[in-house]
Structure 1
Amino acid sequence: MQFLKSESFDLNELLANCCLNRAVNCFELLRTEFNVEITKKCLDNAVKGNNQYIIQECLNEQNPDTSTIEAAIASHDIDTFMSLIDDYNIQFSEFHMPILPLCYDYLNLHVFLVYLLHYNDLDGCLRFSPVFHIRDLCRYLYNNGGNVLTADPHGATALHTSIFENQIDIAKDFISYGSDIEAKVSLAGRPLNFAVSNNNTAMVELLVSHGANVNINDPKNDFSLLHIATILKNKNIIEILIKNSVQVNGDQNKYNLTPIFLASLLNYKEIVQLLISHGARISKTDKFGNNAVAYALLYNNNEFMKRTLNQFHSVTKLINYKTFDLESNNTDLIDLLSYSANVNGQNTHKNSPLHIAALMSNKENAEKLISHGADINSLNKNGQTPLDIAIMRCQKDYGQDFLDFEEENNQNSLDFCQKKSEMVALLTLHHGYSNSIMEFKSNNIVEIMFDYFWERREIRKPSVTLILVEIEQ
């Protein structure tokens, strides 16, 4: 026991952990030998751990409150829950945390039914009932007076819950009972927003067949339903939306991004082909003058893509950067896009796709652009050629090695980078020339993008709306 006397041990925290893990002997040792006091955290943990002896010992020292009741709901022990309610005369109405959301969070049907019996709150229970995936329960609540139009303070109805839970049969019932298929939840949208974000094709078909408006945007980021379906790579939902008159070139968002920009960025060649077959214009540009080719060129930069995909994860939890093969080459997509897009189109910085390819240091994609007629010596607003950008990228990547080489060999940056950078060697081979070499203002590729791809002055406040350009501050 000597080691327990060490200052490195927090005995109060250890006792709380014993309560959570039902370690009776450890609990007794700490209480008898070290006189460790039972805290409110000990009581809540004991209820979660559900050892009746430890629970009673803790109740001898501490009184339960709402967090203790939540712990009882989380433990799924209805006897402990009822004992706390009855023995301590705790009324549901005193909760500062409503019962039904807790039943939802912890999927506790027993407490849900106890609440229903105590309060006969048919409307509230109907709204949460789909979480248990029991169609007959939902029907029972409706048939006994539950109102499908009842919404919580944020606007969520029983239909929203059924869609979020992917319960299509229950959703069908609610629609037949008169649910509002256009009811809005603040910061989450309408039922069709829920269905598309959940990647549920059957639910989308159901809602559209009942007249749901397909020309709506996600309230969090201004993306259309077609943008979200594109991010999720769902051909069927894309087809349903376009068939029902969604604009394939819709760009009514802050940065004028059309779905084909997102498909190009994510290396979804089949989705790009599908969108093109429905009239997507490859020639369109975003607010900063970048076209689909420029967005496709970003795919192979791991640092940038990991951050971007994490932002997409905030739009839909179904996106995870770990599922993307960021090491794969997307030259086929670059080739496809380059047939119709302007490979010499310049953005607001006067950077062409070849400048961006040089910035991304992707030799294979640069070769594709050159084969489609990219101007090897195009100048941006700083007077820089693609070769200048490639050399600057080389300097960034090799850092001290580059400086040591210059000092030891009395040679310039081009000599070093021709040996180290395939991009520099390629551009030199095609008679590229250097006109104005500077240093990047940052070593962070996302920061660099603001000086070559987007406009820094446009980025005032990071938010989900800035899905492709958000940086941590």
Structure 2
Amino acid sequence: MKLSQANDHYTTLMNKYKGYIDTWDAIYALDSDEIDSTAGLYEEIKNNLIDTGYFTAKEMIDLIGNICNKSLHYRRGYIDLMKRIIEEHQCTDIYNISFLSQYDDIKINTSEYAIMNDNENELLYHLKNEKLNLTEILEKCCLRGAVNCFKLLQKEFDIKITKECLDASFLGNNQYIIDECLKENNPDDDTMNAAIESHNITNFYKLHQEYHPKTQLMNVGIYKNLHAFIYILNETEDFNFTFIVSPYFHIPSFCEYMYQNGADINYMNDQGTTALDIAAIENQTDIALNLILNGINVSALDSRILNEIIMENYIFMLELLLSHGANANTVISEYSFSLLHMACYDNNIKAVNILISHGANINDARNEQKLTPLMLTCMFNWKEIAVLLISHGANVNMQSACGLSALHIALRCKVKDNFKKDMIELLLSNGANINAKDEVGYTPLHIASGECSYEIVELLISHGAEVNSLTNDGATPLDFTTRRKSKTPDSSQESQKIMSLLILHGVKNFLTGFSSINLSSLYTQPIKNLIWESKANFLLST
């Protein structure tokens, strides 16, 4: 590309997206901690970022909240900005604001509070009366741009300026502190990342031209620093590498500009990332659709990206990608679970529905534990999803690598019995094998007798559970109830009721397992009586 062409691109893009660039720069450069000081900036955000469709109101609140967490010395200004967005756009108040609003109460009368307010006298009091790490205190001064506190530490304590101080100073954006830190340390890639995040384009230029550190282009996109991005594009003339990052800015026309001016739409970086990957994780359906219509390879989509859009509940994006060739049976290599497993794990019934409609294997067990989506659903007691899976053919009697069925797993679910009873009834009404054994011979009744309520045990017996079933080491459900009593004395009344129930239904073999424990010495008298009464009845009947 000729220099004149590159300059043309720079001028064109800077002019076209001036409002976007100026607004994001102003958000990051907010330097007021006064309430009601952000009316003008709010109007810029509304006109240049929200009304243009680049960002939703909720996205803006999330992004501004993240900025505020690193710029707490201006927290009141950022809170004011977020409240304006919430009020006009009818957003639900979120954690960022409620937490940040309490920050003064949490941090008041601390060294950190003194630094946030750049109060050197208050900081000096804490330094004299508390045992503090002075290096860490200096780094916090750099991060908060607390120039008075910084000067105090240098004058009174002569603390060494570390590389961490330098990086933090570019985020704190106080030029005096930055210059002092540069006298003591050389900037590197981390320093450049801090300059990118700060949106101080002057400092970015200075680092780039004088020190030449490497620029992490993904961070340029993550922090919405479009000015720096256009500068890098102009310098490198590399439309392919920069194109991958372009969806981070949420501007469909900008992405189009990139591939219309020579970017390879299917270009991948060294990590295998494409522009479609970024569009997907940013939930940019318009950009993703344009990429698809212009020939991007959907099947090359990273499985982790598909998992992330399920976890983030990006339902329209999931439908779009599956409708254009993404594989509904993709296995997430990091977890060895399918997309359907992950949707079930996340209790995301909309995603489960979409995956099933696009051919997801309902009984997928391609993982080391051989767990099916239904088993995972039972593990967390997601009944609504279990109903959906069963209605589409989920096999209730498949067993895991260690022999666990969905019923075994449902019984072990860590919720109260009155909540998991519905799941157990659902499985039983759909043909679950009431006497299925795992690899050590445990049946559902063994588990229930040792862990669940009388009501659950009664339910299993009413569906035909074998009360005399033996584990591999010869233990009966009654043995499990007895062990339960010995380990959890508080459950003695419930245990006694269960033992009575088991005996009532003809338990014959008992106390044959767990031979290494002298269980008989742990029985209370009422339970002893039940056992001996049962033994007498058994002898009389033989």
Interval of TM-score (by shorter of Structure 1 and Structure 2): 0.7 to 0.9
Aligned amino acid, residue 115 of structure 1? I
- Tell me the distance in 1 between the aligned counterparts of 2:515 and 2:172: 59
1:329, CA displacement in angstroms? 1.6
Q: How far did 1:194 drift?
A: 5.3
Distance 1:180 1:382, change over 3 A: same
Q: Which residue in 2 is equivalent to 1:427?
A: 499
For normalisation by structure 1, the TM-score amounts to 0.75
Tell me the CA shift for residue 5 of structure 1: 5.7
Counterparts in 2 of 1:362 and 1:300: CA distance versus 1, 3 Å: farther
Question: CA, structure 1 residues 13+197, in 2 after alignment: closer, same or farther (shift >3 Å)?
Answer: closer
In structure 1, the residue matched to 2:262 is 145
Matched, 1:382 2:473: yes
Q: Once the 2 structures are TM-superposed, how far is the Cα of residue 243 of structure 1 from its aligned partner?
A: 3.3
**2: CA distance, partners of 1:328 / 1:30:** 61
Aligned to 1:459: none
Corresponding residue to 1:210 among 314, 319, 324:
324
Q: In 2 relative to 1, CA 270–41 (structure 1 residues): closer, same or farther, beyond 3 Å?
A: closer
Change (3 A) 1:63 1:259: closer
Deviation at 1:334, TM superposition (A): 0.6
Alignment pair present for 1:28 and 2:119: no
- Mapping 1:27-426, distance limit 5 Å: 27-86=150-209, 89-91=210-212, 94-95=213-214, 98-183=215-300, 185=302, 188=303, 192=306, 195-300=309-414, 329-339=419-429, 340-398=431-489, 420-426=492-498
CA contact (8 A) 1:392 1:439 kept: no
Q: Which amino acid aligns with 2:434?
A: V
Query: Deviations along 1:80-108, whole A, 9 cap, x unmatched?
Result: 2223333xx122xx52xx42122244343
Amino acid at match of 2:514: M
Question: How far has the Cα of 1:170 moved from its partner?
Answer: 0.6
Q: Distance in 2 between matches of 1:231 and 1:21?
A: 40
- C-alpha contact 1:391 1:437 (8 A) present in aligned 2: no
Q: Is the 8 A contact 1:99 1:115 kept in 2?
A: no
Report the alpha carbon displacement of residue 274 of structure 1 after superposing the two structures with TM: 1.4
Residue type at the aligned position of 2:237: N
CA pair 65-247 structure 1, distance change in 2 beyond 3 A: closer
Change (3 A) 1:13 1:363: same
* Compared CA separation, residues 196 and 39, structure 1 to 2 (3 A): closer
Q: 1:182 to 1:11 in 2, by over 3 A?
A: same
Q: Aligned to 1:179, what secondary structure does the other structure show?
A: coil
Shift of the 108–357 alpha-carbon distance from structure 1 to 2, 3 Å rule, reads farther
Question: What corresponds to 2:142 in structure 1?
Answer: 19
Specify whether residues 77 and 357 from structure 1 end up closer, same or farther in structure 2 by C-alpha distance, changes over 3 A only: farther
- Give the aligned residue type for 1:33: E
d(CA) in 1 for partners of 2:442, 2:252:
57
Match of 2:525 in 1: none
CA distance in 2, matches of 1:9, 1:178: 58
Per the alignment, residue 10 of structure 1 pairs with 133
For the residues of structure 2 that align with 1:5 and 1:428, how far apart are their CA atoms? 70
| Counterpart contact for 1:361–1:423, Cα < 8 Å | no
Structure 1 unaligned blocks of 5 or more: 302-325, 399-416, 442-473
Q: CA deviation at 1:297?
A: 1.1
Distance in 1 separating the partners of 2:133 and 2:344: 51
Partner SS state of residue 419, structure 2:
coil
User: Distance in 2 between the 1:329 and 1:284 partners?
Assistant: 23
CA distance in 2, matches of 1:362, 1:154: 52
In the alignment, the residues of structure 2 paired with residue 440 and residue 14 of structure 1 have an alpha-carbon distance, to the nearest angstrom, of 58
Distance 1:436 1:104 in 2: 66
* Counterpart contact for 2:222–2:248, Cα < 8 Å: no
Alpha-carbon separation, structure 2, partners of 1:166 and 1:352: 45
**Displacement of 1:149:** 0.8
Q: How far apart, in 2, do the equivalents of 1:47 and 1:360 lie?
A: 57
- Rounded to whole Å, the distance in 1 between the matches of 2:392 and 2:477 is 34
Cα distance between partner residues in 1 of 2:516 and 2:160: 58
Query: Where do 5+ consecutive residues of structure 2 fail to align?
Result: 1-123, 518-542
Alignment CA distance shift 1:295-1:32 (3 Å): same
1:392–1:440 CA contact under 8 A, matched in 2: no
- Counterpart Cα distance in 2 of 1:45 and 1:246: 47
State the TM-score, normalizing by the size of structure 2: 0.66
Letter in 1 for 2:251: I
CA contact (8 A) 1:350 1:380 kept: yes
CA contact (8 A) 1:297 1:356 kept: yes
- C-alpha change, 1:112 and 1:270, in structure 2 (3 Å) is same
Q: What CA distance in whole angstroms lies between the structure 1 residues aligned with 2:254 and 2:341?
A: 36
SS for the counterpart of 2:139 is helix
Query: What CA distance in whole angstroms lies between the structure 1 residues aligned with 2:367 and 2:125?
Result: 65
- For each residue in 1:22-56, what CA deviation from the matched residue of structure 2 results, as whole angstroms up to 9, or x when unmatched? 22222222211222222222222221111112212
Q: Residues 194 and 150 from structure 1, CA distance in 2 versus in 1: closer, same or farther, beyond 3 angstroms? A: farther
Tell me the CA shift for residue 198 of structure 1: 4.3
CA 1:17–1:197: 2 relative to 1, 3 Å: closer
Judge conservation of contact 2:407–2:424 (CA < 8 Å) in 1: yes
The whole-number CA distance in structure 2 between the counterparts of 1:245 and 1:7 is: 63
| Counterpart amino acid of residue 152 in structure 2 | L
Higher fraction of helix = 2
**Aligned residues of 1:192 and 1:214 also touching (Cα < 8 A):** no
Q: How far apart, CA to CA, are the structure 1 residues paired with 2:256 and 2:516?
A: 63
Moved more, 424-433 or 352-361: 424-433
Given the superposition, is the C-alpha separation of residues 284 and 64 from structure 1 closer, same or farther in structure 2, using an over 3 Å criterion?
A: closer
Conserved in 1, the CA contact under 8 Å of 2:301 and 2:326?
no
What letter is aligned with 1:32? K
Query: Match of 2:333, as an amino acid?
Result: P
| Gap change, CA 1:18 and 1:197, over 3 Å in 2 | closer
Match of 2:104?
none
Q: Distance in 1 between matches of 2:191 and 2:516?
A: 55
Q: Distance in 2 between matches of 1:238 and 1:254?
A: 22
Q: Cα RMSD over matched residues?
A: 2.7
Q: Following TM superposition, by how much is the alpha carbon of 1:195 offset from its aligned partner in structure 2, in angstroms? A: 4.4
**Which has the higher mean CA deviation after the structures are superposed, 157-166 or 376-385?**
376-385
